[in-house]
Amino acid sequence: MEKKYRIIFHIDLNAFFASCEMAEDESLIKIPLGIGGSSNRGVLTTANYVARKYGVSSGMNVVEAKRLCPSILLLPVNFALYQKYSQIFFNLLSEYSDIIEKGSIDEGYLDMTDMSEEVHPVEIAEEIQKRLLNEFKLPVSIGIAPNMFLAKMASDMKKPLGITVLRKRDLAEKLWPLPIEDMYGIGKKTYPNLKLIGINTIGDLVNYEDHKKLKLVLGNRVKEFIEKAKGTDNRTVDPHRYVEYKSIGTSQTYATDIYEYQTVLTKLVSLTKKVVNRVIKDESVVKTINIQVRYSDFTQINRSKTLDFYTDNFFEIYQIVEQLYDDNQSDLPIRLLGVSVSNIKPNVNNFRQINIFDVSKEVTKEEKVIKMLNNINVTYGNKIIKKGIK
């Protein structure tokens, strides 16, 4: 029997935040543009290709970007705008496949295996690319490969507006000569260690024989990385991954370091407000509360507490935030504060309200049980919290 290869697309929006701004305002297209970097302590999240010609890149410190390109226009991050274009992007992709996995706000995987009988995959990719550019002014790069890892690597090979096919038989020529730090999943902490043991390219990893040595660098993921480098990745495109947030948080680096306890509390209140507003807007309740403190010397602590009930109540959450901070005070000046929540689930009380209006719909047994459990948890939880205050 003939083996059927999968056909996976990875589609990546080029310089996404900058592209959104340029789509909204044509006058920005020809000038160097950077996004982010509100203060001199900030960095750019991305830059358009005009700015990149000057050597400006994402992650770059604002001062350095201005030095390289004095005429650069810096715009603040406008997340709502990017969400809007992300929605447009995924809506268009959904015309081409039912099997789509959101990789992040600006990239997605499509399983195109069942769509490719009549038309060549490259022709479909060209159509998607042209439509996104013509209809919405969004440039994308597309990788086409038999699995997700290779598709991801392929979309990265030609930017902007590239289409790259990466077949198994192309690996020796196209993938293995790449430097090891270009491999997806190998970051700035790992690649220097790989170089120390003589691995400079992805091909070097494929051919490396001393797996014991490799384990010292990659831990339990030796096999996974070698398999991927060899072109094997059995993950399936999963539309249900990342449909719900696993954590919601916000953090801020302050223009100057904070020394005052009262100032810290003020900042924690406003961070908590922001997070709780998002939790409520998401119609969720949460159980675990986390704070992040980064000191002026860049050391960082994270402290978390899991409640025995779910809540979306500001006062309940803030009380924990303040307690976590109080329990871990230090004399060091503070550079950044963050608040986040995890252990998130849909707010069943809201769910019930919706059902009251929808009288035609009969409440199932499972729904009744869920509501019951939820009510018990809330009551029980409130008692605990009151005990805690006294």
Would you say 123 or 310 has its CB closer to DNA?
A: 310
Least distance (Å) between residue 12 CB and DNA: 7
Instruction: Please say if 107 is a catalytic residue.
Output: yes
Confirm or reject binding of residue 41 to DNA (CB under 7 A). yes
CA distance 324 to 35: 33
Would you say 61 or 116 has its CB closer to DNA?
A: 61
- Nearest residue to 77 (alpha-carbon basis) of 252, 241, 299, 302: 252
Give the chain's radius of gyration (CA, Å): 25
Peptide bond into 160 cis (omega under 30): yes
Q: Which two tokens stand for residue 206?
A: 């494929």
Confirm or reject binding of residue 106 to DNA (CB under 7 A). yes
Least distance (Å) between residue 305 CB and DNA: 4
Distance of CA 151 to the CA centre of its chain: 18
DSSP-H helix ranges across the chain: 16-24, 49-52, 62-68, 79-93, 121-136, 148-155, 171-174, 190-196, 202-207, 211-218, 222-229, 261-281, 314-326, 348-357, 365-389
Least distance (Å) between residue 105 CB and DNA: 6
From residue 189, give the alpha-carbon distance in Å to each of 113, 211, 295. Answer: 36, 19, 21
Of 24, 101, 107, 173, catalytic: 107
Confirm or reject binding of residue 384 to DNA (CB under 7 A). no
**Contacts with DNA in 240-279 (CB under 7 A)?**
241-242, 245-253, 278
Confirm or reject binding of residue 87 to DNA (CB under 7 A). no
Would you say 78 or 253 has its CB closer to DNA?
A: 253
Choice from 83, 270, 302, 375 touching DNA (CB under 7 A): 302
Confirm or reject binding of residue 201 to DNA (CB under 7 A). no
Choice from 305, 316, 322, 346 touching DNA (CB under 7 A): 305
CA distance 331 to 147: 51
> What is the binding site for DNA (CB under 7 A)?
16, 36, 40-43, 45, 58-64, 67, 103-107, 152, 183-191, 219-221, 241-242, 245-253, 278, 287-288, 298, 300-306, 335-336, 338, 340, 342-343
What residues are annotated to the active site? 107
